[in-house]
Amino acid sequence: MRGPEADLTLLSDTLREAGKLALRYWRHKPKFYDKPGDAGPVSEADLAVNDLLLAKLRAARPEYGWLSEETADTPERLARDDCFIIDPIDGTRSFIQGEDTFAIAAGICHRGRMTTGAVYLPALERLYTAHAEGPARMNGQTITASERSAPDGATMLTATPNLAASHWPGGLPDVRRAFRPSLAYRLCLVAEGRHDSMVSFRPTWEWDIAAASLIVERAGGRATAGNGAALIFNTPGARIPSGVLAAGAALHPRLLALHLPS
């Protein structure tokens, strides 16, 4: 029987299998090359994990569309009501360097809205999951986003350029900055309440945030585009031009007001 619960089981089981494959390359000097157009590196592990996910997930749900960072895109997915959105390895640079915070992210959207999401960090053995009808979980335990409301003193996962005063015309918040290479992991840390917020004001690929944005929402937080608009997925360009802003439900509107004052 199909539905969010069954889809989540499929994603979770497949990501755990993909994680085992990724670990065969991790810290074993995987081959890699730089993509054209300054699009970053891709390793042989990215491609192997992508192949595994493609084979397993499309075999189980052949009627779903497919959008992945490491698969050549086609317009075919736009005609499908449901679509897989995949990042085989989020944080490829850190993976190549042997760091342990890389993630494998897989989600399913229905007519633009996320219904299912899973993010797995195989080196840390952390599996974050959610579907649209249930709570967010990490390794099976329910997680909740921060209840903090005050921007000053809040923790924010972000790259330093996002704290330029030009991004905050309503006043630069006095946050405590932290960073993780994987956007999906940053979102999951907000969902878990280990950090109060995360922002990235650069145009953001859908596969970097699709699965984890649902996990934030089901944890009681808010995840929107950087301009406050609702996140819509499986779009023709597969990109969110204004980036992403995620935080606990009380903090999110206050950060947005500083970024986009009325």
User: pLDDT digits over 205-234, tens only?
Assistant: 999 999 999 999 999 999 999 999 999 999
For residue 172, the tally of other CB atoms under 10 A from its CB is 16
How would residue 1 be classed by pLDDT, with cut points 50, 70 and 90? low
DSSP string for 69-94: TTS---GGGGG-SEEEEEEEEE-HHH
Fold of 155-259: D-Maltodextrin-Binding Protein; domain 2 (3.40.190)
Residue numbers in the known binding site are: 69, 87, 89-90, 208
Query: Which of 58-74 are b and which e, b meaning 16 or more Cβ less than 10 Å from the residue's Cβ?
Result: eeebeebbbbbbbbeee
State the Cα–Cα distance between residues 107 and 188, nearest whole angstrom.
13
How would residue 35 be classed by pLDDT, with cut points 50, 70 and 90? confident
pTM of the full structure: 0.97
User: pLDDT digits over 41-89, tens only?
Assistant: 999 999 999 999 999 999 999 999 999 999 999 999 999 999 999 999 9
- Give the pLDDT score at 224: 98
Residue among 180, 253, 246 nearest 216 (CA)? 246
Whether the pLDDT of residue 119 is over 70: the answer is yes
**CATH class of residue range 4-142:** alpha beta
**Residues with Cβ < 8 Å from 54, sequence gap 6 or more?**
66, 68, 71, 86
Whether the pLDDT of residue 39 is over 80: the answer is no
Whether the pLDDT of residue 29 is over 70: the answer is yes
* Percent of the chain surpassing pLDDT 70: 99
Domain extents in the chain: 4-142, 155-259
Residue numbers in the known binding site for Mg(2+) are: 69, 87, 89-90, 208
